[in-house]
Chain A
Amino acid sequence: MSAIEFKDVCRTFRRDGKDLLILDRINLTVADKEFVAIVGPSGCGKTTCMRMAAGLEFPSTGTVSVSGKQVIEPGPDRAVVFQQFALFPWKSVHENIDFGLRAKGLPETERQKIIAHYIGLMNLKGYESAFPHQLSGGMQQRVAIARAYALDPEALLMDEPFGALDAQTRVVMQEELVKLARKNPRTVLFITHAVEEAVYLADRVVIMTSRPGKVKEILDIKSVRETENWDQHQKIEDVMDLASFVHLRSRIWKSLREEHAGDH
């Protein structure tokens, strides 16, 4: 069963008294435990797609479903990692991760085990009682990722989670997310406008057209990654030097360039 499914999804927004078509008949399925990245020019509706899967936004026509259930409201089965982290400033790192677990009604001992596990995995040891504003942007986003993974969701939805980070932190986070994703495969819908990031992280990359956003093409990365054995490299720059990576990256670049050219 496909974990996330967009079926003939259209979305219009009202602007200046006119209905503006933002998303045009999106059909997309993300398989169970698959990591799909969406790239596209800004304003093409990527965030809107993710918000519809999260239940924070709704299609004008068509349906979005997760694990066969139509999405009607936000919930812990679809964990979101926001670009601006969206941590609770008044809660410590530990409490931020614990919040969703308590809402789920898990017993104390199990919660402690889960929190300790993700604190370790996301390199947050020693910072359990720190408040978000005491941490760097990269660490805050690691807390947000830990908070999302800890929910054990059916789908993880990430909207440019590294967009607000500086270049170095971003690279570290990408490497950590790859490790986490390979060790702990989940269904992930990952929005980005960084092509390298999409190719490095995803099993498949969806390229969208400029507004109104449509699915332009879908590229299979996973088969290339496995035959070329990208995961033997620890560092992102080593993977980015591989001919197979360069090839895929320029394919996507060219496809996106056509969209920008058609903008005006």
Chain B
Amino acid sequence: MFVGSRLSTVLLVLAAMIVLWYVATTITGLVGPARLPQPLEVWQSFVAIATDGYGNGRLHQHVLHSLKLVAMGFTVAVCVGVPLGLWMGHSRRAEALINPTFLLLRPIPPLAWIPLAIVWLGLGDAAKILVIFVAAFVPSVINSYTGVRNIDKPVLEAARMLGIRRFSFVREVLVPGSLPMIFTGLRLSLQASWTTLVAAELIGALYGLGSILNQAAQDIYPAMIMVAMIFVGICGATTTWLLGQVEARAMPWRHERALQ
């Protein structure tokens, strides 16, 4: 019921935007075709790239390629970043050891790593994955670290009092206690992954949504630019939604309603 009404709101807003777009470009011509393509053109471009392909491949190949890069960069960043953040939050010594380096690396925008990544790894996928990794890594670490620090002190003391041993402490107290912040970090990491993916693919990529953007800009093909942008949006929204589903299942205690 609730989900249904929210979905219909989203669809309604989308439909209204398309109507507005249609009115502004096709019916009234208020916005000229050089600035914004008409809905029909965009649809035709979509059909063209989906069936015949554009820029070295068909749409699904580009989408899958981008998804693969994001998945790899994001996964590696999370698998390294979350444990590192948890460790830094738990151990003062780890914090003292790692934090200075981290503070120095943090202000460097992920895109500033692109030249170095190209020098190290060339123009292929590996360089792009590295840049996505760097972008996704930082929010994972920081939020996991904050998550540990935010665990209620009496709860930690209760765990010690109950006689918890080291391993189960990590699994049963440290991780679940930090989980809300860990997921905040994952969401930010995912966002950063998509942002950097497109930027990384703008340079010397054969496949991917960013490469379509690049190619279409060179061809002065605004309708195709819009198709690529729309698909970046769809991919980002879908993966974020998936992460939300994982989050709800990982933390059932946050979603159970009050009794009575």
Using a CB–CB cutoff of 8 Å, the interface residues on chain A facing chain B are: 54, 56, 73-76, 78-80, 82, 84-92, 99-100, 102-104, 127, 130-131, 133-135, 147, 151
A-chain residues with CB within 8 Å of residue B164 when the two chains form the complex? 99, 103
Most chain B CB within a 10 A radius of its CB, from A54, A89, A104: A89
CB distance from B157 to the nearest CB of A (A): 6
B132 at the interface (CB under 8 A from A): no
Beta-carbon contact of B163 and A103 below 8 Å: yes
30 chain-A/chain-B pairs, Cβ below 8 angstroms? A54-B157, A56-B157, A56-B160, A73-B160, A74-B157, A75-B161, A76-B161, A76-B162, A79-B161, A80-B158, A87-B155, A88-B158, A88-B176, A90-B177, A90-B251, A91-B253, A92-B253, A99-B159, A99-B164, A102-B168, A103-B162, A103-B163, A103-B165, A130-B256, A131-B252, A131-B253, A131-B256, A133-B253, A133-B258, A135-B259
A-chain residues with CB within 8 Å of residue B159 when the two chains form the complex? 88, 99
B-chain residues with CB within 8 Å of residue A85 when the two chains form the complex? 154
Interface of B is mostly: helix
Beta-carbon contact of A86 and B155 below 8 Å: yes
Beta-carbon contact of A80 and B176 below 8 Å: no
Beta-carbon contact of B161 and A54 below 8 Å: yes
B82 at the interface (CB under 8 A from A): no
Q: Out of B154, B168, B176, name the residue touching A103 (CB < 8 Å).
A: B168
CB distance from B125 to the nearest CB of A (A): 38
Interface of A is mostly: loop
B-chain residues with CB within 8 Å of residue A56 when the two chains form the complex? 157, 160-161
Beta-carbon contact of B163 and A75 below 8 Å: yes
The distance in angstroms between the C-alpha atoms of A80 and B259, with both chains bound, is 27
Using a CB–CB cutoff of 8 Å, the interface residues on chain B facing chain A are: 152, 154-155, 157-165, 168, 172-173, 176-177, 179, 251-253, 256-259
Q: Out of B152, B176, B251, B258, name the residue touching A86 (CB < 8 Å).
A: B152
| Contact A78-B172, Cβ < 8 Å, known A86-B152, A90-B251, A90-B253 | no
Beta-carbon contact of B162 and A99 below 8 Å: yes
A-chain residues with CB within 8 Å of residue B155 when the two chains form the complex? 86-89
Given contacts A103-B162, A127-B259, 18 further A-B contacts (CB under 8 A): A54-B161, A56-B161, A74-B161, A76-B161, A80-B158, A80-B161, A82-B154, A86-B152, A88-B155, A88-B173, A89-B155, A99-B159, A102-B168, A103-B164, A103-B165, A130-B259, A134-B258, A134-B259
Beta-carbon contact of A104 and B163 below 8 Å: yes
CB distance from B126 to the nearest CB of A (A): 38
The distance in angstroms between the C-alpha atoms of A92 and B251, with both chains bound, is 12
The distance in angstroms between the C-alpha atoms of A147 and B163, with both chains bound, is 13
Beta-carbon contact of B163 and A76 below 8 Å: yes
